[in-house]
Structure formats: C-alpha cells, structure tokens
Amino acid sequence: MSYRTKSSWILLLGLLAACDTGVRELDFVSKQFSATYNIDSTRGLDSTTLAKLMASKAVYNFGEDGKGVNHVQMGMVSKDTPFRWKVEKDSLLIGNQAYAVQRQEKGFILKSDSAKIMLSKQP
C-alpha cells in the first residue's frame, strides 16, 4: 500500500471518528413533541399521582435560546409550564433533570433513573 493510500485511509478514519452520531440542539429547536410517560412506581410516586400522570396529555415545545413550554392537559384542565433545556453530548437537560437520549424513527426516547419519556414529533 502506498504512502498516499495509507494517508487517505487515515484521513478518512479520522473524519469518521470525528462525526457526532448523537443528538443535536438542531433536533429539538422550534419543534413540538407529544410525550408518553413510563414511570417507575417504586420511586416515590403514589398511585393517584401516577394515574393522573398516565392519563394526562403532554406536549413539549422546544424553543430557541434553550427555552421551552410543557403543555399538560388532564381532562378539562390544562397547564403551561416554562422550562429551560439544552443538549450536552448524548443527553438532554430539561430543567435540572438529565435524560439519556435514544433516537427513534419518529422521535426520541428520554431515559432517567425513574422515568422513560417517549417523544413523538408533531407535524
């Protein structure tokens, strides 16, 4: 193998290694996701709170500058809660909670110690 061929392979491998296959802020900015929760009931939530959470409909709106709004509807009552967010490596921080992010076909799965949130992209 010639010096030129070896150099080309080394350059190609270096470029591939530098590619970030994780999550980016661009994946969330100005996008809206419906959320489905899967909560570990052994982590301190009583059954009433857990039932309310599972029956709620939540939508996360990720705005620019790390600002967002979580819209939650439980029956006839709805509430908008602002939050701060940012992406760090392969994690998404929402408020003070860090979530490992796994990319799915139509959204993401966010995992923490006690929760799994499935985010499905809205049109």
Kindly report the CATH number assigned to the domain that includes residue 88. Answer: 2.40.128.50
Q: Supply the pLDDT for residue 22.
A: 77
**8 Å CB contact between 38 and 116:** yes
- 94 assigned to some structural domain: yes
pTM over 0.85, yes/no:
no
Measured CA distances, 37 to 27, 50, 52, 66, 72 (Å): 20, 10, 11, 22, 12
Q: What is the pLDDT of residues 33-59, one digit of tens each?
A: 999 988 765 556 666 766 666 778 999
Q: Supply the pLDDT for residue 17.
A: 44
Q: Supply the pLDDT for residue 63.
A: 96
- 54 assigned to some structural domain: yes
**8 Å CB contact between 85 and 68:** yes
**Strand 107-111 with 115-121, pairing:** antiparallel
Q: Supply the pLDDT for residue 49.
A: 67
Domain count, the chain: 1
- 42 assigned to some structural domain: yes
Q: What is the pLDDT of residues 82-101, one digit of tens each?
A: 999 999 988 999 999 999 99
- 14 assigned to some structural domain: no
Structure tokens at 55: 């029956």
**Structural domain that includes position 115:** 22-121
